[in-house]
Chains A and B, each alone.
Chain A
Amino acid sequence: MELNILTICYLIGSITFILGLKMLSNPATARKGNLIAAAGMAIAIAGTIFLYKDEDGNGLHNYGFIFGGLAIGTLVGFLAAKKVKMTAMPEMVSLFNGMGGACAGLISIIEFGRISNELGSGKTFHGTLLIIFLGLIIGSVSFAGSMIAWGKLNGKVKDFSFPGQQIINTIMLFVMVCIAGYLILNITPANSYLFYIILAGALLYGILFVFPIGGADMPVVISLLNSFTGVAAACGGFLYNNKVMLTGGILVGAAGTLLTILMCKAMNRSLLNVLIGSFGGDKGGAAQVSASGGTYKEISISDSAMVMAYANRVAIVPGYGLAVAQAQHICHELEKLLDEKGVEVIYAIHPVAGRMPGHMNVLLAEADVSYDKLLEMEDANDLFKTTDVVLILGANDVVNPAAKNDPASPIYGMPILEVELAKNVIVNKRSMKPGYAGIENELFFQPKTSMLFGDAKGVLQQLVSEIKSL
């Protein structure tokens, strides 16, 4: 009876996950979808705690630890998620993803410990071991990788690579798979220590895997690690023949992989290329920084206010700089002001602007910017030819013409916002330092480009008061 109710709990859980993901894909129902999935998760968790029975009909014990863990996790998770600033959202997602990966890895470690005790009893564990190793490797890579991605996004970890890193990564992966395969077929109490070598290898692989990847690839990496964790969770579903873990995990694994591939396509790179971690690995980027270095011209606040107030159409290109400066509200104010003066204002959103796909959309939605003003890359590129002023707020790599013109550039082939088609380009940056991908941007040296240095928020505030007084 109790097990039947548990089955129904899991069924509800699986259905809410599917429904939740589906509703998350429509702005009108997204929030409800998230809450529905959360409710289904709560039902599945509560059902497991109170109704679960193993094959021998024994219920769970250690309730003190279970509820203690749930209480601590809920409190910390809730507070962290409530307190995080909108700009820090991507690293928060990466951090939570790493927690899930670690959880899957820990399950594998404990299950392996259980199996080690039964070795030599004549039973075979090929299938179980395969799942345990899969969960261990994928979960650990996801955990270590997410931690590095988290550190990178908040600036604590710098890009780092050494010659031959790709080869070493590939060899490590190969060796781990070989050891795992060997153990699955020939496990004995004497060689089970190899399990911990795989664990160490997987953690190291996760670190080395994300270390050299920088700039435009970070969103892809987070999305990929997200789908990894999904697969790791599904391994748990295999292990316990638990349908809700299986469906939830595989669903996220499949959806996350597709999202990753879509992002790779947007940057004209293959997933394999990203996986091997070769971004800028040929040092082409480094050589280029010193190569260029022409002259650029600055523009004053009042001049910028003037050209924008008398333009027919102004296109705003937001980037990470806008997010860092928390300038989305003042940006919306500028847009309304220009709108009142009869200037058409559009936002041109590059798919990977900011640190995550859709990062800019979230940020601007927070400031109440209406949807129909946010144009996707293709639509915006059609309009630049007839745009008088492009105002770039803390974006860099996504408007770098080197992606089109310079085959030696590490971002060559990535579709960009073709802002140089507009009549004037005003670039707001804090300094001439290159963007996240670490490469020089020739756009800044073009004659139609003017630089407006300063923090995005401060500059926009001055622009607003200047335009008001015109």
Chain B
Amino acid sequence: MEYILNFINNSQQIIYIVILMIFLGIEVIGRVPSVLHTPLMSGANAIHGVVIIGAIIVMGKAADTNYAAIGLGFLAVVLGTLNVVGGFVVTDRMLEMFKKKK
């Protein structure tokens, strides 16, 4: 029990962020017209590509002799980049079509 209380106390900053972000995410998306659902989903898809930062950290920390970590980390960096770059470019292509309107 004390362990859990300590955990909450030590990570209160993170817990605050999580709670606020949940409400913010709901607020931000709540007023989206259905026209933009697909681009929005695609844009959100690109944003969770932020996981690439974790991949970079893991890769950069891997010891030179730990080949498994280096191999997996490299794969993670490639996949994460695919998510970020592909996600933003696809979203931009979708939205390019909307731009032609007045």
Contacts and interface: CB of A to CB of B under 8 A. Distances in A.
A156 B11 CA distance: 45
A274 to B, nearest CB: 16
B9 interface: no
A99 B83 contact: yes
Interface of B is mostly: helix
B51 A27 contact: no
Given A70-B81, A92-B90, A254-B22, A62 B3 contact: no
Contacts of B68: 113
A84 B43 CA distance: 16
B47 A20 contact: yes
Interface string B69-102: 1101111111111111111111111111111110
Interface in B41-80: 41-62, 64, 66, 68-70, 72-80
B100 to A, nearest CB: 6
B29 interface: yes
B17 A111 contact: no
Given A60-B56, A110-B73, A245-B54, A93 B42 contact: yes
A179 to B, nearest CB: 21
Nearest to A146: B45
Contacts of A70: 77, 81
Contacts of B34: 349, 351, 357-358, 361, 376
Interface stretch (A33-41, A204-212, A275-283, A415-423): A33-41
Interface stretch (A165-173, A232-240, A307-315, A424-432): A232-240
Interface in A115-134: 126-127
B48 A100 contact: yes
B35 A254 contact: no
Interface of A is mostly: helix
A33 B45 contact: no
A60 B63 CA distance: 10
Of the listed residues B33, B38, B87, the one surrounded by the most CB atoms of chain A closer than 10 A to its CB is B38
A255 B28 contact: yes
B17 A107 contact: no
Interface residues of B, number: 82
A68 B33 contact: no
Contacts of A20: 43, 47
Given A103-B52, A356-B38, A38 B88 contact: yes
Contacts of A30: 36, 39, 95, 98
Of the listed residues A22, A35, A97, the one surrounded by the most CB atoms of chain B closer than 10 A to its CB is A97
Nearest to B83: A100
A70 B59 CA distance: 12
A44 B86 contact: no
A420 to B, nearest CB: 23
Interface in A226-261: 226-227, 229-230, 232-234, 236-256, 258-259
Given A81-B85, A97-B45, A110-B73, A250 B21 contact: yes
Given A62-B70, A254-B24, A93 B79 contact: no
Given A62-B70, A73-B80, A106-B73, A25 B85 contact: no
Interface of A: 13, 17-18, 20-22, 24-27, 30-31, 33-35, 37-38, 41, 44-45, 48-49, 52, 54, 59-63, 65-66, 68-70, 72-74, 76-78, 80-82, 84, 89-90, 92-93, 95-97, 99-100, 102-104, 106-107, 109-111, 113-114, 126-127, 222-223, 226-227, 229-230, 232-234, 236-256, 258-259, 349, 351, 356-359, 361-362, 365-366, 368, 370-371, 374, 376
Given A226-B41, A365-B101, 9 more contacts: A21-B40, A65-B74, A66-B60, A73-B78, A77-B81, A110-B73, A252-B48, A256-B44, A258-B26
What are the nearest 6 A-B pairs in CB distance?
A: A73-B81, A60-B60, A254-B25, A69-B77, A236-B54, A358-B37
